[in-house]
Structure 1
């Protein structure tokens, strides 16, 4: 079994490194709330989906700063009603923060909240001057 040093993995450019970083962040934080999926749609398109049942658009903020996507949910205080007696309260509506490290040239295209799922679409757009190109070898 060969073990590659961490520095070798960091030299990759593209989404493969993105998923390594996402895995590293999620294991370091050890916070699985809210549950989330990361889906590869194509070589340059991805989606992050978070289960945010009970949250409204006004409860959620999404920011990107220095290559880190931050999603925050403000669960707020439950409305106190003396006429309501919970027998069992299993729906979590607590505040949360999830962070995902984005690879270079990855941008958030949009975010949608539907049926308790927050879906964030990501797209990698490498500028033409950064794409691989063939170099013509000249004779001396």
Structure 2
């Protein structure tokens, strides 16, 4: 088993407690190869996941978000008895699948649509005001916190 120590990274970072879990899940070799999918970035805050879903109807696909995990599942319905098909070549798999994507806390799912055999899931990064970059003014000694000695009583 591969082990990766992230200790040097944590010396100069604060608040990346879940980073180790992300690396561990990325190191696992259980990445699905079916169905093929793309993760695309458009601009600074727009993302898209496109999953090849040829042969699946809209009602056979399911998109859920729970605890910041986007899960896309598909199950193929049972064929009717009348549709006895003998395949000479079957290149379209049409088998059930489950894909999961861990989303950042600022990523919101905007919607999903079926388009030309692709399931398109649109994502948007919404950065709250308190997480946006800001300039911190340097006020010299005026910005210091004033502390009072413990033996002085404050009268009101």
Query: Is the Cα–Cα contact under 8 Å of residues 76 and 94 in structure 1 kept in the other structure?
Result: no
Shift >6 Å, 4+ stretches: none
**5 Å matches for 1:1-140?**
6=6, 8=9, 24=26, 28-81=29-82, 84-140=85-141
Which TM-score applies when normalising by structure 1?
A: 0.77
Deviation readout 1:57-112 (Å, 9 max, x if unpaired) = 11111111111110011113233436532222222111100001111201111111
Task: Give SS of 1:29's match.
Answer: coil
TM-superposed deviation, 1:117: 0.4
- Compare relative contact order (CA 8 Å, sep 6+) and give the higher one, 1 or 2: 1
Q: Aligned with 1:47: secondary structure?
A: strand
SS where residue 43 of structure 1 aligns? coil
SS in 2 for 1:38: strand
Q: Distance in 1 between matches of 2:107 and 2:135?
A: 24
Q: Distance in 2 between matches of 1:120 and 1:74?
A: 18
List gaps (5 residues or longer) in structure 1.
Answer: none
Distance change (3 Å), C-alpha of 1:32 and 1:133: same
Q: Distance in 2 between matches of 1:79 and 1:47?
A: 35
Count of matched residue pairs: 129
Q: Which runs of 5+ in 2 are unaligned?
A: 142-156
Structure whose alpha-carbon radius of gyration is higher = 2
Question: For residues 20-79 of structure 1, what are the alpha-carbon distances to aligned partners after superposition, in whole Å with 9 as ceiling and x for unaligned?
Answer: 87x928x63231111001111112111110000111111111111111110011113233
Q: Distance in 2 between matches of 1:121 and 1:12?
A: 30
Distance in 1 (CA, whole Å) between partners of 2:95 and 2:102 is: 23
Q: Distance in 2 between matches of 1:12 and 1:80?
A: 61
What RMSD in Å do the two structures reach over aligned CA positions? 2.8
